[in-house]
Amino acid sequence: MINNRLVNSLPFSSRHELSTLVENRRAFTLENLELNVFETYQRSEKVALQFDDLVIINMIHGKKVMHLHQRDSFEYLPGQTMILPAYSKMQIDFPEATFKDPTQCTALTISKAKIDEVINHLNEHYPKVNALTDWKLDLNLFHLYNTPELTDLINKLFQTITGDNPLKDALTDLTFRELIIRLLQTQSLLSLDIGKTKNNTALEHIRNYIHAHLSESITVEVLEKQANMSKSSLFRLFKNELGITPIEYIIRTRIQQAKSLLRKTKSVKETCFSVGFNDVNYFVRLFKNRVGITPGAYIICG
């Protein structure tokens, strides 16, 4: 099964295009942003890297170990995105890179002025619903796991930037604006998942209710009463702030909890009913569709 959270690989450099075997760089420069494609062809440690603008980094192929200032080191793998402010100092290990199996990573740099333009427009015309704060990138939530929606946009953006459409600057600008919105929503979703949404009491209340009643039947009607909202207002809240529907949030929460329970219980059936599904076959199909492997295989791998 295709993992819908992995950004598509870009064509690798040919041998004669390589100027170095460690972080060989190709750049695609447009009016408001630059896409850098880095490839490493040998094991390396503590490779320094820094950008003068805010950078959105996507791991495409292989593995890195990231060392960032005042943060614990961590593995950086495909299916993940990082957002780092300008002048962030990085040191990177490439523990598995070889000439036959190189790493590939992208770094999309954008000026602060361009980021501010998009976010200011969003705050002026599409302010947050029932929230105490404006839209803004939270650089404390810099390490994200891709959603399928985020991955689709990144693939679309990279295809346009590396293509030869004469209108690529205009097309890229439109997709980039959508990407920023999706990143903001992904951060909001992560903040809600880890229980750190303190500026939207309605979302926090709904999240707590879902987690407390995960094994039960949770309907939209129940959530409407919990949030004291109409159905349309409830859906607008979720779609605007998180980019998904309330039902999709329930499913994602159940799948995430199922992963944890599968590691603990080693039982597909017990996990299925514990997270609110009443049909084991449906749970197996849904889990495989969302995670890429069956619950039984996840138990073995985990």
Angle CA 171–173–177, to nearest 5:
120
Q: Please report the pLDDT score of residue 1 as a whole number.
A: 38
Q: Please report the pLDDT score of residue 200 as a whole number.
A: 66
Q: At 229, which amino acid appears?
A: M
Answer for the pair 128, 67: CB distance below 8 angstroms, yes or no.
Answer: no
Q: What is the pTM of this model?
A: 0.87
The alpha carbons of the chain give a radius of gyration, in whole angstroms, of 21
* Tens-digit pLDDT profile for residues 257-281: 999 999 999 999 999 999 999 999 9
Is the pLDDT score of 74 beyond 50?
yes
Exposed/middle/buried for 69, CB within 10 Å: 0-12, 13-18, 19+? Answer: exposed
Cα–Cα nearest to 95, from 145, 47, 36: 47
Alpha-carbon distance of 144 to 138, in angstroms, equals 11
Angle CA 10–14–15, to nearest 5:
140
Q: Please report the pLDDT score of residue 198 as a whole number.
A: 58
> How long, in residues, is the chain?
302
Least confident interval from 56-65, 93-102, 197-206: 197-206
Q: Please report the pLDDT score of residue 196 as a whole number.
A: 67
